[in-house]
A and B are shown apart, each in its own frame.
Chain A
Amino acid sequence: MEEIVTRLKNAVINYEMETIADLAKEVVDSGVDPLVAIEEGLAQGIKTVGEKFGKGEIFLPELVMGAEAMKAALAVLEPAVPSGKHRATLGKVLIGTVQDDIHEIGKNLVSTMLSSNGFEVVDLGVNVPSEDFVKKAAEIKPNILAMSALMTTTMPRMGEVIAPLKKEDPSVKTIVGGAPVTDVYAKEVGADGYSGDASGAVDSAKKLVG
């Protein structure tokens, strides 16, 4: 059992995103607890990858491929987790690019960084209508709602989400980011956190759940 979990961990560390799903199926068939496989295998693997990236030993494409490998394995393992049980994470983050804005890459980088640092990330994609953020938050109860905007014209959408969200559930924390966003603007729209880059978003998120 331990051996196959180690293989799963190494498959993430070696970015085996094309073949890791087969390995995950093997894990399920072998009767290993999928929760153990996720926590001891995938989470440990992506932690190693994330640490290497933090130290500058590897680069973005490698981090993303590690995250892709983890995602591919999670797609197999998560449905096999008995209902009522949940994997341990640092917290749940709901993320998306605001309405009228289709810029994706920055938001994706933040998603990758967060998931490689132990967060569970639910990604709503781009051009997300403001009310959809609020609705989805009510449904999945995230610890953090993260929003990205790349244009000065779409930035105000952030405030449009934060106000009703806080009214509904004041415990949800919010993080905003994107090229035109500043810490001053973040405070103006009532966000709890802000970051100028993807690594900073992780620090910011950790502070908010810590």
Chain B
Amino acid sequence: MAALEVGGLDVHYGGVHALRGMSLTVGEGEIVALLGNNGAGKTTTLSAISGLVRPSAGKIVFDGRDLTRARPEAIVRAGLVHVPEGRRVFSTLTVHENLQIGGYPVRDKAEIRRRVDRVYALLPRLAERRAQQGGTLSGGEQQMLAIGRALVSGPRLLLLDEPSMGLAPLVVASVMELVREVNLEGVSVLLVEQNAKAALKIAHRGYVIESGACVLGGSAAELRGDSRVVEAYLGGV
């Protein structure tokens, strides 16, 4: 059974029809890449799933629960956590406070402390900078912090929006490595990326979206070998 099932999603922004019958699934323990050009509807898809924008049609089901009209905080509590584009670290809060914010839905203070400590163990760089303001970190560290912050919420499915954006190739590799590690611990991932190459390296499956709907889907290996994907997103041959 798929953990996340999105079916026939329509989203309108004013007069713009941003999603037209968007459908996808993410299975338990899977990393699924969502590829596409600027404006194809990748971010809108994530925003609809996490409750920031209201779809005008369609269904979002997570673990058998209908979350189509749920509020963002209810969706987080259900275990679906969205790491937004551009990391969106709280710049004047310390690294530690940023992580604590991730634990906002959790009432048990000891539990939050345990989860924050686990993030520090996973990302020792953050532990070194725990008292520093989030905005003073490098781009790569901010991305790590954004993912770490989401992990404190206790996600079962992470929605990652362009984690490689603006990062040097080496840093991209370490962010992708982090995503893989998180996935190995049992968290499913829906990974939106323009960097198709990096995304398909760690993903199990992928979709290509164009003008608000999926035009192609398959295993990562299939997509890597598909001539249309190679031409459009992997920089030709």
The reply to whether chain A is a binding partner of chain B is: no
Binding site for A on B (CB under 8 A): none
